[in-house]
Structure 1
Amino acid sequence: MSYPTPELPSKLSYDEAVDLSMELVDFERGFHNPGHSSFHLNRMTHLTELIGNPHSNIRTIHIAGTKGKGSVASMVSSILTTANFRVGLTTSPHMHSLRERINIDGDNISRSEFIRILEYLWPFVIQVEKEFNYGQVTWFEFMITMAFIYFYENEVDYQVVETGLGGRLDATNIVVPDISIITSISRDHTKILGDSILDISKEKAGIIKSGVPVVLAPQHYTHEVIPVVKDIAQGLDAQFIDVCEMYRYDVESVSLEGQRISVSGRYYDYKFSLPLLGLHQVENAMTAIASVESLMDMGLSINKSDIEKGLETVFWPARMEILKSGNKVIIVDGAHNEFSAKRLTESIIEYRKKILKEYSSQVIIVFGVLNNHECENILKELSLLKPIVFPIQSEHPKATQIERIFELANTLGIDTIDYDKRLKDISDVMNYITTSFDHKNIILVTGSISVAAEALEWYKNDFKVNDVT
């Protein structure tokens, strides 16, 4: 496979390659967010055209939504991999290493491949900035393009592509997929996508393409979301698959290890053990099944057992992930908007009656958010657990200051633990909490993916501050 090749820079080390990529505009970790009118697909179109549009000849599953899109992407990828297809998966954000964003069959892109593709791609990044009047390629655009190159070179059978933000103007929306999937829609990034569910739904539905089937996951805001997505699909002659209307499920049993589920699909009736907790993950699994069955409509040959096994072996961390530390149970969840906090709270209240009933009724929440998250609204939802909150500031550059979280918690009447300035990071906090309380407490770590990631690193005794490798 050949590409047009401009002169390459000198050989880079991996750390140098990462640092070079991080020089690009990064809306995830940077502080300048443009108005929505500034978002467009021109840079991505030009950049991918310069390298021969590597994404255009790969069967693609494209996924947008506010919540659950990463889970569904991981589930679909796991199912197809189990069925012996070679599958590329690109998701965001990453938890421990930026290489998590690009993987094939569950294996992250290697450091050497990251360097090699960066050295190939970088001159084109510079060319786009110099020759076109659209500004610098963003870091997210760069990473998505790298993923497309990596998948193309490795001749994957499918690429599962998760949007970064929105849908209509997201950098991933240059693909023409085999199917589009829209997961649960709620309010998030309202300064960019709009403040109403109607506006956000239109942005998410912007990934729907002419004649391409669209799978819509179960929705909380059914009356707002379904008419918008259905109308756009009909206007584009795209088959509309309403998962909530066409599929049924039953949760047969729940344990700390997962939940036993049955799903009535269009092709088969499925029974499997899902290693992810929460009713929302049952809905995500049902959406993944509907998506694979949509591919079966197009001729995909896949066994019922592959679908069941793919769901049983899916791995997607920090989504109601259960950890044990002595006589305490630790729940790690990256919930970072009001609706995800609501679903998390509902699940914990329900599980207190079942799998968590042997633990203390007291919930201690290690809580940290980013500045663009709805801190007050998230805390309002979590307050239903009657918790003691321990505010924390993660190492993310956009992390909200501890004092602000204390202020909001106190205003809402939520009990807090007095902050000790000797506790310098989440590792110190987790060690303090897990050794300072005698009862079988439930410890919940939530508020952002960055806080969840740092808690998992503490648990694995592998705490790394600001590690992007």
Structure 2
Amino acid sequence: MVRTYDEAVAWIHGRLRLGMKPGLKRMEWMMEKLGHPERRVRAVHIGGTNGKGSTVAYLRSILQAAGYSVGTFTSPYVEQFNERISINGEPISDEEIVELVQTIKPLADELERTELGGPTEFEVITAMMLYYFGKKHIQDIVLIEVGLGGRLDSTNVIYPLVSVITNVSYDHMNILGDTLAQIAAEKAGIIKSGVPLVTAVNEPEAWDVIAKTAAERKAKTYRLGVDFTVSDRQATAEGEQFSVTTPFAEYRGLRISMPGAHQVENAAVAVMTAELLRLGYSFLIDPEHIGDGLATATWPGRFERMSDNPLIILDGAHNEAGIHALVETVRTHYPDKRVHVLFAALADKPLERMIRLLDDLATTMTFTTFDFPRAALAEALAALSSHLHKAATDDWTGWLIEKKKRMGNDELLLVTGSLYFISEVRKLLKK
């Protein structure tokens, strides 16, 4: 029997040995045993390649500003495991994690003895979340982030109020497919019959698949740039300012503190989703709730300014599209800075293309590794760079401490790559 928090988290992480096992049969088995908690969760289901977490943050903040109690399910965590299951931005307690594991572990043990096999780590965490929000602490609404893909993702046992697909680009190609159409087909798996879809997908190859799936399932679609639009965007010292026009209203002079054109898109998607909750499900959301919610939304590890002197920014850009957005944001907001990049990533990413984009931005490139099973080696990353001023180190902690001491006012230290790495750096800098 699991009795302590450490034992509970160790048991959950121990499920990693099972790897990834796409499919919903194990989830459906557990939901049946638990009395179908997923049917009692009023949810927004948020998928896409990039921007899921930021979109969750914007929408949560809007709904909280309107006075609602909002559950969230996100991954990966940045500071502590518990934050994956949160209420109004506050992670659930250690005691609640223990209670949830005590409920789910016997089912996992029983499932392991069937032909379906034992549930994976993500399936276990998803079951914990759905039991928590469906039986223990029912919320006004729960924002559920897809783990990987969509069609066969553990979260796809829910029937949401609104579905969201932020965008489609290349990532996890060894699992989802190596064309945008194949990846889009997996993302489109979360589209449900009659449930409205909000999306910022703009690549024609991906959009064709999304549009076809939505039409087949009679899901009314709201597409950024077509059905709702962004205008008057301008970078500010604090982040971004812009306006959003939906089929139902116009919101002028909106502000967000997370910089970048991609964050404006994520915020616009959140606004459109809030509109659908207001009109389709009687959520009382006023224009000031949207303005206040966006202005106060934060999301750790996404272009997060950890220090002004010296200037240090963390960004978990962990695929090619993420790096591209990051580079554009740095160029827009810090055009006069000499940029020093510290980069670490997982070995299964399109590293060469990611590094090439950073090479073009950086004054110096430093590559490192960190304690994670799939982390790429520092020397292997450096070998992919053509930068004239590149280096590799296994001691990123010592490197970072020394770098901070030597930086001038015209310099920016950009730490990027895997969110797991960003989490480690963030802990060090917060100390």
Specify the alignment match of 2:67 in structure 1. Answer: 84
Query: How far is 1:428 from its partner?
Result: 1.8
Letter in 1 for 2:248: Y
Specify the alignment match of 1:107 in structure 2. Answer: 90
Which of 229, 233, 238 does residue 248 from structure 1 map onto? 229
Which of 407, 414, 417 does residue 391 from structure 2 map onto? 417
Question: In the alignment, does 2:269 pair up with 1:287?
Answer: yes
Query: How far is 1:274 from its partner?
Result: 0.5
Specify the alignment match of 1:451 in structure 2. Answer: 421
Specify the alignment match of 1:383 in structure 2. Answer: 359
User: Residue 68 of structure 1 contacts residue 183 of structure 1 at CA under 8 Å; is this kept in 2?
Assistant: yes
SS of the aligned residue for 1:23 comes to helix
Which of 250, 255, 268 does residue 273 from structure 1 map onto? 255
Q: Deviations over 1:275-300 (max 9, x none)?
A: 11100000000001111111223133
Query: How far is 1:427 from its partner?
Result: 2.8
- Within 2, Cα distance between the matches of 1:26 and 1:76? 34
- Within 1, Cα distance between the matches of 2:119 and 2:424? 29
User: Residue 210 of structure 1 contacts residue 236 of structure 1 at CA under 8 Å; is this kept in 2?
Assistant: yes
Question: Mean Cα displacement is larger for which, 137-146 or 301-310?
Answer: 301-310
Which of 376, 397, 414 does residue 427 from structure 1 map onto? 397
User: Residue 370 of structure 1 contacts residue 400 of structure 1 at CA under 8 Å; is this kept in 2?
Assistant: yes
Question: In the alignment, does 2:67 pair up with 1:64?
Answer: no
Which of 66, 78, 100 does residue 117 from structure 1 map onto? 100
RMSD: 1.7
User: Residue 104 of structure 1 contacts residue 151 of structure 1 at CA under 8 Å; is this kept in 2?
Assistant: no
Letter in 1 for 2:383: E
Q: Deviations over 1:226-276 (max 9, x none)?
A: 211111001011111112212222355434432222222333322322011
Specify the alignment match of 1:147 in structure 2. Answer: 129
Question: In the alignment, does 2:209 pair up with 1:233?
Answer: no
- Within 1, Cα distance between the matches of 2:376 and 2:362? 22
- Within 1, Cα distance between the matches of 2:67 and 2:406? 48
Specify the alignment match of 1:224 in structure 2. Answer: 205
How many residue pairs match? The answer is 428
Matches within 5 A, 1:214-363: 214-219=197-202, 221=203, 223-251=204-232, 253-270=234-251, 271-298=253-280, 299-326=282-309, 328-353=310-335, 357=336, 360=337, 362-363=338-339
- Within 2, Cα distance between the matches of 1:397 and 1:225? 32
Specify the alignment match of 1:134 in structure 2. Answer: 116
Unaligned runs of 5+ in 2: none
Question: In the alignment, does 2:340 pair up with 1:364?
Answer: yes
User: Residue 339 of structure 2 contacts residue 364 of structure 2 at CA under 8 Å; is this kept in 1?
Assistant: yes
User: Residue 41 of structure 2 contacts residue 130 of structure 2 at CA under 8 Å; is this kept in 1?
Assistant: no
Specify the alignment match of 2:10 in structure 1. Answer: 19
SS of the aligned residue for 2:32 comes to helix
Letter in 2 for 1:406: A
User: Residue 61 of structure 1 contacts residue 158 of structure 1 at CA under 8 Å; is this kept in 2?
Assistant: yes
Q: Deviations over 1:361-398 (max 9, x none)?
A: x2110000011112111101112214311111122222
Question: In the alignment, does 2:378 pair up with 1:402?
Answer: yes
User: Residue 344 of structure 2 contacts residue 421 of structure 2 at CA under 8 Å; is this kept in 1?
Assistant: yes
User: Residue 364 of structure 2 contacts residue 387 of structure 2 at CA under 8 Å; is this kept in 1?
Assistant: no
User: Residue 167 of structure 1 contacts residue 203 of structure 1 at CA under 8 Å; is this kept in 2?
Assistant: yes
SS of the aligned residue for 1:176 comes to coil
User: Residue 280 of structure 1 contacts residue 343 of structure 1 at CA under 8 Å; is this kept in 2?
Assistant: yes
- Within 1, Cα distance between the matches of 2:291 and 2:127? 32
Matched-pair identity in %: 32
Unaligned runs of 5+ in 1: 1-8, 462-469
Question: Mean Cα displacement is larger for which, 113-122 or 198-207?
Answer: 113-122
SS of the aligned residue for 2:86 comes to strand
Letter in 2 for 1:137: P
Query: How far is 1:128 from its partner?
Result: 1.5
Query: How far is 1:458 from its partner?
Result: 1.9
SS of the aligned residue for 2:325 comes to helix
SS of the aligned residue for 1:67 comes to coil
- Within 1, Cα distance between the matches of 2:102 and 2:429? 36
Query: How far is 1:301 from its partner?
Result: 2.3
User: Residue 341 of structure 2 contacts residue 362 of structure 2 at CA under 8 Å; is this kept in 1?
Assistant: no
Q: Deviations over 1:322-358 (max 9, x none)?
A: 23252x31121000111111111112122234xxx3x
User: Residue 209 of structure 1 contacts residue 238 of structure 1 at CA under 8 Å; is this kept in 2?
Assistant: yes
Question: In the alignment, does 2:154 pair up with 1:171?
Answer: yes
- Within 2, Cα distance between the matches of 1:418 and 1:116? 44
Change in CA separation of 1:98 and 1:305 when aligned onto 2, cut-off 3 Å: same
SS of the aligned residue for 2:16 comes to coil
Question: Mean Cα displacement is larger for which, 138-147 or 266-275?
Answer: 266-275
User: Residue 78 of structure 2 contacts residue 301 of structure 2 at CA under 8 Å; is this kept in 1?
Assistant: no
Which of 37, 44, 52 does residue 54 from structure 1 map onto? 37
Query: How far is 1:432 from its partner?
Result: 1.4
Letter in 1 for 2:419: I
Query: How far is 1:59 from its partner?
Result: 1.2
User: Residue 25 of structure 1 contacts residue 138 of structure 1 at CA under 8 Å; is this kept in 2?
Assistant: yes
- Within 1, Cα distance between the matches of 2:150 and 2:139? 24
Question: Mean Cα displacement is larger for which, 44-53 or 378-387?
Answer: 378-387
- Within 2, Cα distance between the matches of 1:204 and 1:99? 26
- Within 2, Cα distance between the matches of 1:22 and 1:455? 21
Which of 175, 188, 192 does residue 205 from structure 1 map onto? 188
Q: Deviations over 1:442-462 (max 9, x none)?
A: 11100110222122212211x
Change in CA separation of 1:393 and 1:418 when aligned onto 2, cut-off 3 Å: closer
User: Residue 395 of structure 1 contacts residue 450 of structure 1 at CA under 8 Å; is this kept in 2?
Assistant: no
User: Residue 445 of structure 1 contacts residue 452 of structure 1 at CA under 8 Å; is this kept in 2?
Assistant: yes
SS of the aligned residue for 2:226 comes to helix
Change in CA separation of 1:146 and 1:128 when aligned onto 2, cut-off 3 Å: same
- Within 1, Cα distance between the matches of 2:183 and 2:225? 20
